[in-house]
Amino acid sequence: MNCGGDMSESKAKKIEIKDVDGQTLSKLIDYIYTAEIEVTEENVQVLLPAASLLQLMDVRQNCCDFLQSQLHPTNCLGIRAFADVHTCTDLLQQANAYAEQHFPEVMLGEEFLSLSLDQVCSLISSDKLTVSSEEKVFEAVISWINYEKETRLEHMAKLMEHVRLPLLPRDYLVQTVEEEALIKNNNTCKDFLIEAMKYHLLPLDQRLLIKNPRTKPRTPVSLPKVMIVVGGQAPKAIRSVECYDFEEDRWDQIAELPSRRCRAGVVFMAGHVYAVGGFNGSLRVRTVDVYDGVKDQWTSIASMQERRSTLGAAVLNDLLYAVGGFDGSTGLASVEAYSYKTNEWFFVAPMNTRRSSVGVGVVEGKLYAVGGYDGASRQCLSTVEQYNPATNEWIYVADMSTRRSGAGVGVLSGQLYATGGHDGPLVRKSVEVYDPGTNTWKQVADMNMCRRNAGVCAVNGLLYVVGGDDGSCNLASVEYYNPVTDKWTLLPTNMSTGRSYAGVAVIHKSL
């Protein structure tokens, strides 16, 4: 019986294998004898098709596993296309899920900008797209069009059909979407904008009756998160970086900082963790290091204009703000902002008060600078200032009930928390919360420990306060606040190192 083809190869003395080069073939023959093969970035693209051709399924699987381990926002779309061509179904799904889960970083890359119209539509129409706000999807569309404007302009309406404009904040619709020339010059896009405006004007019960893909919130697969604690004083400046896995209640050491750093500002922005300024044990620094969680490595970017330690750092509208701090001789009122798109720092309006050991947080598009120390008046401060990026102005808002320098500041459900801190020698365990709607502060439950110079972050509706010192020693403990129960709970597991003046950020767990 002849199954598909005359099997003449079985009788031939010599068979020509096309599409496989000698080096690759020799590697595969070695594998057949030794069951060992090294897959590398250099050889994977020739090895996988050759292994498919010769039906060496283990090698093919090794190649797929290798590519999956290499997934990164800069290459996942390329790997996805490669998997598609070679019908590696699992890898195709993994690369696609990766692209959806890291969309804010993926959209900045060359691979995204080079996608075809259908590929962009399919990506941005996915319910699983992980974006902090629909603004990212709108920005992605605009940058894809602008990348080759002449040929792509005609696709604007087709793309905007998949952007969920009704889910954007009202201010963003008016200030950004409506002002965008690509929207102004396209009638269909204007209709989408009107639909979004109407959606905002309707009462809630009527909103729910509008059923179309643009009003449906995205439902991303929530990736597990980890908390990263960067540098700090223990008791001198250290390079160590620890990572807490919430699911497993476990601390791990990850890539160290390139140099010692404490009293820095630490934030998460566009898929990376930034460690800004600080003190290296002898000098206040201007330098900035950036952590890539996928590669587990730090690199340096443009330095700030001023040296700053004990600064506040926060992200607002895709800019990283470095607020106040101490330059080695005086407390600073100056504020500078960094754009990762241009890799440049520039000054914005200074605060009304010099503030070192200042805590900062962002609520509803405004940046708040909380307490701190004013070297000029030698006072720990209870005052709080609010920065509006639209007007580039700082104004005072309601004072806290008490002076706090080195308070841990965090944001939970639209409210600003000031935890601990100190007033002169007195270290506090008290916590107060600011409501921007009423411009008032109120007390909530005290922490378990007195803490100043602690790191703070919000995760899954809880506020975590990490380390710090109690006035005499550095703390390795972490506690979290639950606003529903108004209770603080200590994490069962401590950091490996007691540290104060460390920065904290939350990132997605690498796959």
Question: At 469, which CATH number?
Answer: 2.120.10.80
The model's pTM is: 0.70
Rounded alpha-carbon distances, angstroms, from residue 295 to 48, 72, 299, 491, 492: 23, 8, 11, 28, 29
| Dihedral (CA of 280, 285, 287, 289) sign | positive
Structural domain tally of the chain?
2
Q: Looking at the structure, do residues 162 and 282 belong to the same domain, yes or no? A: no
In residues, how long is the chain? Answer: 511
Q: Looking at the structure, do residues 193 and 251 belong to the same domain, yes or no? A: no
Q: Looking at the structure, do residues 184 and 331 belong to the same domain, yes or no? A: no
- Per-residue pLDDT reduced to its tens digit, 95-110: 999 999 999 999 999 9
- Per-residue pLDDT reduced to its tens digit, 320-374: 999 999 999 999 999 999 999 899 999 999 999 999 999 999 998 999 999 999 9
Q: Looking at the structure, do residues 196 and 241 belong to the same domain, yes or no? A: no
Of 173, 206, 239, the residue that ends a domain is 206
Report the pLDDT value the prediction gives residue 33, as an integer from 0 to 100.
Answer: 61
304, part of any domain? yes
Name 441's Cβ contacts closer than 8 Å, sequence gap at least 6: 398, 399, 400, 401, 418, 432, 433, 434, 435
37, part of any domain? no
Residue 267 and residue 278 in contact, taking contact as beta carbons nearer than 8 Å: no
Of 175, 206, 237, the residue that ends a domain is 206
Taking only the tens of pLDDT, the chain with its 511 residues reads 444 444 444 455 554 555 666 666 666 566 566 656 776 777 777 777 776 776 777 778 888 888 888 889 999 999 999 899 888 889 999 999 999 999 999 999 999 999 999 999 999 999 999 887 899 999 999 999 999 999 999 999 999 999 999 988 888 898 899 999 989 889 999 999 999 998 888 887 777 777 788 988 888 877 788 999 999 999 999 999 999 999 899 999 999 999 999 999 999 998 899 999 999 999 999 999 999 988 899 999 999 999 999 999 999 988 999 999 999 999 999 999 999 989 999 999 999 999 999 999 999 899 999 999 998 889 999 999 999 999 999 999 999 999 999 999 999 988 999 999 999 999 999 999 999 999 999 999 999 999 999 999 999 889 999 999 999 999 999 999 999 899 999 999 999 999 999 999 999 886 4
* Per-residue tokens: 473: 């020693």
Q: Looking at the structure, do residues 239 and 324 belong to the same domain, yes or no? A: yes
Q: Looking at the structure, do residues 386 and 359 belong to the same domain, yes or no? A: yes
CATH number at residue 144: 1.25.40.420
441, part of any domain? yes
156 Rama class: left (phi>0) / alpha (psi -120 to 50) / beta: alpha
117, part of any domain? yes
Residue 422 and residue 471 in contact, taking contact as beta carbons nearer than 8 Å: yes
Measured between alpha carbons, how far is 477 from 431 in angstroms, rounded to an integer?
17
Q: Looking at the structure, do residues 289 and 175 belong to the same domain, yes or no? A: no
Burial class (CB in 10 A: 0-12, 13-18, 19+), 204: exposed
66, part of any domain? no
Burial class (CB in 10 A: 0-12, 13-18, 19+), 330: exposed
Q: Looking at the structure, do residues 201 and 232 belong to the same domain, yes or no? A: no
56, part of any domain? no
Host domain of residue 95: 71-206
118, part of any domain? yes
Burial readout 179-198 (b: 16 or more C-beta within 10 A, e: otherwise): ebebbeebeebeebbeebbe
Q: Looking at the structure, do residues 117 and 194 belong to the same domain, yes or no? A: yes
Of 143, 171, 206, the residue that ends a domain is 206
Q: Looking at the structure, do residues 244 and 391 belong to the same domain, yes or no? A: yes
254, part of any domain? yes
Measured between alpha carbons, how far is 324 from 356 in angstroms, rounded to an integer?
6
Q: Looking at the structure, do residues 498 and 391 belong to the same domain, yes or no? A: yes
Q: Looking at the structure, do residues 372 and 486 belong to the same domain, yes or no? A: yes
Measured between alpha carbons, how far is 124 from 138 in angstroms, rounded to an integer?
9
Name 127's Cβ contacts closer than 8 Å, sequence gap at least 6: 216, 218, 219, 220
